[in-house]
Structure 1
Amino acid sequence: MRRGHEALWQKQWTAAIAAYREALAAFPDQPEALTGLGLACMEAGHYEEAVTAFRQLMRLRPGDPTPVLRLAEVYQRAGRLAEAASHYHQAGQLFVEQADLRRAVQAWVQAIRLEPGRVETLEALARAYRQLHQPEAAIRADLARARAWVQQGDLQRALEAVSAALALDPDHPQALQARDWLRAQLARRTGTGPLPPLPARGAEAEAEQARAEAFWMLPLEEGEAPTDLIRQALSQALQTLADLVFSEDRGTFSEEEWFRIHAGLGRAVDAHSRGQWREALALYDQVLGAGLEHPALMFATGAILTELKRCDEAASRLQRAMASPAYYLASLLLLARCEERHGAPERAAERYLEALEHIDRELLHPAPAEELRERYRFLRGWIPRHPEQQAALRKGAQQILESPTWRDRVTLIRRALDQWTAETPFRLTLADALMCPDGERLLIELGQAYTWAQHGLFYSALEEAMRIVAGMPFAPLAHLALGRLLVWGHRGQTAVGKFRTLGEYFLFMEDPYMAMAAFEQALQLAPLDLPALQRLLRLSQELGDPSRTIQAFTGMVDAYLQMANLEQAERICQEGLDWASRRGLSGMALRPLLLRLVEIAVQRLDWARAVEHLERLRTIDPRDLEIRWGLAEAYLRARRREQALAEVHDLLNHARAAGRLAEAMSNLEELIALSPEEPGLRQLAAQAYLELGQRESAMAHLERIRGHDLQQGRRDEPGRSINPGSS
């Protein structure tokens, strides 16, 4: 026996096996010899003999989980994973009988790693996590169990597993999404729900749906539940400070100062880790007094001061910790706690807005960034005047950002917002979602309607959205989603009314940016909708947005032109130009309105007024050839012959210089067709055709000029003919 132990210790597997066999020949049921033989055979790759040894040991010690674990390890090394998983599960049950739940969990997690679909092991894990008061881990086990049932085709049992998860946390985003997905699948399978069979979809749509369905199927991980932002940052701060204790780089500190810092810092970290906050704070303050300035130290002390409700001191430390990106978000959350305790909910909301903006901008990256910054800038001034939305924001942000699954949750919210607002003027932030009471849950519930809409199941999607709106009639996100569903269902006029109503709601809520987006969305569907145009015009003027204001003026002019109300159209055009003049706008900003004035003048056959407006447009952009050819035509129609010829002559010179004379000839021919008896135009055309080598076309125009001259009693006047032999 002794020789076997020595050989095993020295990893001499063959010698150990021989010694243990000899010992077992004399004492066949010796537990230590069986254990040693099993271990040596496992390491030597003699798996069958190892299995035999550990099985014999199991018979000798039926309630001992150790030989069962050893046997599971042998099976795992031999590649017999199903048998290994079975024995890890059995070992976990034996640990439970010994009241050692934590070791039972470790064994069961190992079983799941080898065989992820072991339902009985997942059920045992879920029960154990509940007994250990680890609800997040229990929920993940329940979701993994649901996934296993889905893979086995038993959707009803999968739904029961998800329901167990929701009993722990009714607002858990992945569990809610899993519930809705399973309900939809059951409805399709049983035919009891409102869903018809799915239409065929492309590969890209199938892949997107698969990603959405898999989002709630999170892998089961070993150990404690994920860590929230504050605990994660604190753990990082303590690790950084512990590393400083062993650092030999003392920077500008003297050896004596560095020794004092080392000594105090080590004791402080130890006290902090054991929850002795006051002692840790006193030691940290000594280190600060010795001159050490470090973001990790500022965060650690700020966190303690927050817990001790010394909020003024905490705020000072946390502000300095925010200089490091590692502590920025967690510091904001602790500062929000301090503001709440000070009875300053407005300042707490501002902290949460800062945190949400940072997540939106730095972690989730929605575009465009400038509009995102502008939206948060507006909300910081808006939210103090709206206590109900402020309270919802504080509650929602605290619940999400201080939860272990905060990253998954904000990602889910961001994705839902982007889905509903794609290709619309709406630019929603995380804050917009959380200002709505139960905004996160609302978006999760709307996710079912979105999924059905993407499958082409419009009526089912609309029915689900209407149910949600009935339960939350003052939730703008629900109405926005309903409007989008109406668009996707080709109910354009109803959708226009919905977005107009939504715009009026935002006006009532003093949110002009969202109101403008709602009216712009209505105009995307009905560009000539006068009520929406009038609202958009007023809003853009109030916000001082020149581009949108000119756009609104132009839209109103188009609406009146469509109704053949030229007087109103001209009046709106002039109002727009006057507004632009008062604000110093000029150049291209005026072009849309001047083009409408040209159209109005043309419809009235008022060529003098058309010339006036076209000349202004030529001044704005002399390179705009379409405007200049139009001006030449207006000169002709206004009987301003000399100006028309001068304009055409200049245009042809530009075309020659650009090498595009042939292209210009089609415009010139149109003018000649308009005024066929104008010899000056034909003379310019003949000259150009000769330059292009098109002699027949040149001669045709020269003959028309000669015929015109004969009719007028003129023959070969100087300058009125071109030598056809010249180039």
Structure 2
Amino acid sequence: MAGNRKVFEKAMRAGTNAAWDGNWDQAIVVYRRALAEFPDDVSALIGLGSAYSGAGQLEAALKAYQRAIALAPDDPVLLERIGKTREQLGQGKAAAEAYMAAAERYLSQQQATHLALVRWQDAARAYPDCLPAHAELLQYYQRHGQVREAVRECLTLAHIYQAQGQNDHAVQICHHALRLAPHNSEVLAALGGLRYAEQIAVEPGAEVSREGLGLLTAIEGPTASITLEFPVAPDVESVKERGSPIEITRQKALSDLAESVFEEEVVAELPAVAPQLSKVEIDALVGRAIDFQTRGKIEEAIAAYEQVIEAGVGRTSVYFNLGLLYQERMRFDAAIAQLEQAASYPEYALGSHFALGECYRARGRIDEALEHFVEVLKMVDLATVRREQADDLIQLYESLVSSYIAKGQREQALEFTNSLVEFLSEKSWEDKVVQVRQRLDALAQEGPILSLAEMLATPGSEHILESVALSQEYVKRGMYYAALEECYYALEHASTYLPTHRQIAHVLLAMGKADDAAAKSVAIADTYRVRGNVRQAMAMYHRALKLAPMDTVVRAKLVDLLISHGEIDEALEHYLILADSYYHLAQMEQAREVYQEALRLAPRGGPEHRWSVRILHKMGDIDMQRVDWKRAIGVYEQIRKLAPDDERARLTLMELYYRSNWPELAIAELDDLLRTYRENGKTRQQFSF
């Protein structure tokens, strides 16, 4: 009889395991079994489609995905799978349509533009003549200041229109490209070819697609359904490429130097001797230096900047530019000396540290290069996070360099620096940083913050993050097994990338499997600990304890980690919770042993917390419950010594003395307590006795 939930769940688990092992035939069998119970379950249909795809049965996979999309028409991930399958089947145009539909669904969701971008790129790859895909890409690149990519899309659109015989519209596209990049040789060549082609008649059989007609109408007016929003001239400035951190800082240095010419006096930003030349002479030197530098006359520019410094002008912009010029001439020691002076000035720090990293790397001094490159990445990353996240992020970066150096991982450090340089040298790196931060924050959720460094240290991490993002989309739709499958796909490419494992823990928790999620979190924390990422390890242990607060083994691990890194007060808090857990499990001896360990640590804690007194009271309570009067007396006498005004300890001691048949000690304790009240002016308590 269909509709058996237990049979369905068992089959789905078996399907996921079989898919993970690459046993596609077995996966097909068990997913079919699951569908026999619930024929309209989207997760099962997706699993079946994936299994067919893995087995090379693409037509069957497409049918499974089409059944699923009929049940969940707004699911962009399903449309993406359909597009991918059609592309593998050689159905380029249909694949592009599916990719475009997926992009449209992503755009309707908040913060999913990066996923839409990838789908537009997929559509353009699957069907190179897909006009809507190239139009969307053009608009995206313009909005994000990626001029080179925008011009490339203009050229592609022009080529498509030319192939359709629509040379006049191809010319319009090229003119728009020239507004973005006025001197681009490829655009000028294309425009020249189009002008020549206008003299040749278009073949009568040439067809113009409906999509093409819609786009042409969009160029001519705002009425078309597909809109190419070309900006007017004032907007062109907003899409200029800023370049690498060095290029950004170099432009600032040149701008600052140019402005200095209009200052009334010579202003030294950094300590320097009094200027030896007049303002006019210094301005002339600065002007020559800027002119030589911008014209690529390196030696002449170096000589001019050296004269500026010899004249006693201590400007950060001069030190930075001279350092770059020395670097270009491979005079690395001289470059380092100048750049280190510029690095102390905040507005020049980013470019200076980047250039210093390159200089040290060129000298083969990888440790020093790593320090400067990590400083660059830290500054970039800190600009993308909230203030309350900054301290944790700073500590992550501080431990990163020491981790590479301490483990002697020279090759890994070199690979990391190469990835970092490549990432920050891309023209659109600033936009990319924001996109990656959004993905990392979505992945972190309630767990510890993730750094850009962790992403760069993992080859192919961008594709992995995309898979994780898809997994998150599946979780939102309650398609948990499909979400797990995406994670397993990501792990095939980077099995040790911990953010993927963290996503698996999130999926397990969403499925109601809190124990499994806690176990996964502990495994992640253990790995962070082995890698030396202490903050990350602590945060994951905390997360595991939220899911399993009575897990004494995990709490003991957290306590050890806190103690070893000087977090004494927090360690003592967890000691008390750990002992309390044993207490509630009726394991009194273990509870007392934990309190005893905490008592030895208590003197290192903050005095305002009165740790020793608090812990001794807990120990005394246990001894009282176990009717161990002698041990209890010893505990409360320690409390009396540490806190003479502790009324509870005094009263308990009096009771214990009487029970132990020591009335004279009880009376002496009472007298001493009354004397304390009298000395402290506590008359009311004195009369109450």
Q: Distance in 2 between matches of 1:139 and 1:629?
A: 86
1:594 aligned residue = 616
Give percent identity, aligned residues only. Answer: 26
1:286 to 2:307 alignment: yes
Equivalent of residue 300 in structure 1, options 294, 299, 321: 321
Retained in 1: the 8 A contact 2:396–2:533? no
**Equivalent residues in 2 for 1:268-347, closer than 5 Å:** 268-347=289-368
Q: Which protein has greater RCO, CA pairs closer than 8 Å, 6+ apart?
A: 2
1:446 aligned residue = 468
Secondary structure at the counterpart of residue 367 of structure 1:
helix
Retained in 2: the 8 A contact 1:541–1:549? yes
Residue 379 of structure 1: how far off its partner (Å): 2.2
Residue 332 of structure 1: how far off its partner (Å): 0.9
Cα distance change on mapping 1:449 and 1:630 into 2, 3 Å: farther
Structure 1 gap segments, 5+ residues each: 1-117, 145-216, 665-679, 686-727
2:526 aligned residue = 504
TM-score normalised according to structure 1 size: 0.55
One-letter code of the match for 2:568? Answer: P
1:261 to 2:282 alignment: yes
One-letter code of the match for 2:301? Answer: A
1:576 aligned residue = 598
Deviations 1:299-319 (A, max 9, x none): 111222222222111111111
Secondary structure at the counterpart of residue 586 of structure 2:
coil
1:226 aligned residue = 241
Retained in 2: the 8 A contact 1:433–1:477? no
Q: Distance in 1 between matches of 2:677 and 2:339?
A: 71
Cα distance change on mapping 1:454 and 1:609 into 2, 3 Å: farther
Q: Distance in 2 between matches of 1:388 and 1:120?
A: 41
1:137 aligned residue = 150
1:604 aligned residue = 626
Residue 265 of structure 1: how far off its partner (Å): 1.5
Q: Distance in 2 between matches of 1:446 and 1:654?
A: 68
Residue 328 of structure 1: how far off its partner (Å): 0.9
2:429 aligned residue = 406
Equivalent of residue 243 in structure 1, options 232, 256, 259: 259
Retained in 1: the 8 A contact 2:322–2:338? yes
1:545 to 2:567 alignment: yes
Secondary structure at the counterpart of residue 407 of structure 1:
helix
One-letter code of the match for 2:263? Answer: S
Cα distance change on mapping 1:617 and 1:496 into 2, 3 Å: farther
Secondary structure at the counterpart of residue 550 of structure 1:
helix
Deviations 1:37-61 (A, max 9, x none): xxxxxxxxxxxxxxxxxxxxxxxxx
Deviations 1:447-491 (A, max 9, x none): 333344355554443332232223321112221232233234332
Deviations 1:689-721 (A, max 9, x none): xxxxxxxxxxxxxxxxxxxxxxxxxxxxxxxxx
Retained in 1: the 8 A contact 2:134–2:153? no
Q: Distance in 1 between matches of 2:431 and 2:138?
A: 22
Secondary structure at the counterpart of residue 431 of structure 2:
helix
Which has the higher mean CA deviation after the structures are superposed, 376-385 or 432-441?
A: 432-441
Deviations 1:144-191 (A, max 9, x none): 9xxxxxxxxxxxxxxxxxxxxxxxxxxxxxxxxxxxxxxxxxxxxxxx
Q: Distance in 1 between matches of 2:555 and 2:345?
A: 48
Q: Distance in 2 between matches of 1:407 and 1:608?
A: 69
Residue 350 of structure 1: how far off its partner (Å): 0.9
**Equivalent residues in 2 for 1:57-456, closer than 5 Å:** 122=135, 134-138=147-151, 222=236, 225-228=240-243, 229-250=245-266, 257-361=278-382, 364-384=385-405, 385=407, 386-387=409-410, 389-424=412-447, 426-454=448-476, 456=478
1:470 aligned residue = 492
Retained in 1: the 8 A contact 2:443–2:499? no
Which has the higher mean CA deviation after the structures are superposed, 260-269 or 568-577?
A: 568-577
Q: CA RMSD in A?
A: 4.5
2:586 aligned residue = 564
Deviations 1:288-336 (A, max 9, x none): 2222221111111122222222211111111111232221101111111
Residue 354 of structure 1: how far off its partner (Å): 1.2
Retained in 1: the 8 A contact 2:276–2:312? no
Cα distance change on mapping 1:460 and 1:285 into 2, 3 Å: same
1:482 aligned residue = 504
Retained in 2: the 8 A contact 1:523–1:533? yes
Retained in 2: the 8 A contact 1:632–1:647? no
Residue 364 of structure 1: how far off its partner (Å): 3.3
Residue 516 of structure 1: how far off its partner (Å): 3.5
Secondary structure at the counterpart of residue 404 of structure 1:
coil
Retained in 2: the 8 A contact 1:257–1:290? no
**Equivalent residues in 2 for 1:675-694, closer than 5 Å:** 684=688
Q: Distance in 1 between matches of 2:635 and 2:337?
A: 63
Equivalent pairs, count: 471
Retained in 2: the 8 A contact 1:237–1:296? yes
Residue 278 of structure 1: how far off its partner (Å): 2.4
Retained in 2: the 8 A contact 1:140–1:218? no
Deviations 1:416-442 (A, max 9, x none): 444444444x34433334333344543
Structure 2 gap segments, 5+ residues each: 1-130, 158-228, 269-273
Q: Distance in 2 between matches of 1:128 and 1:596?
A: 65
Q: Distance in 2 between matches of 1:299 and 1:412?
A: 30
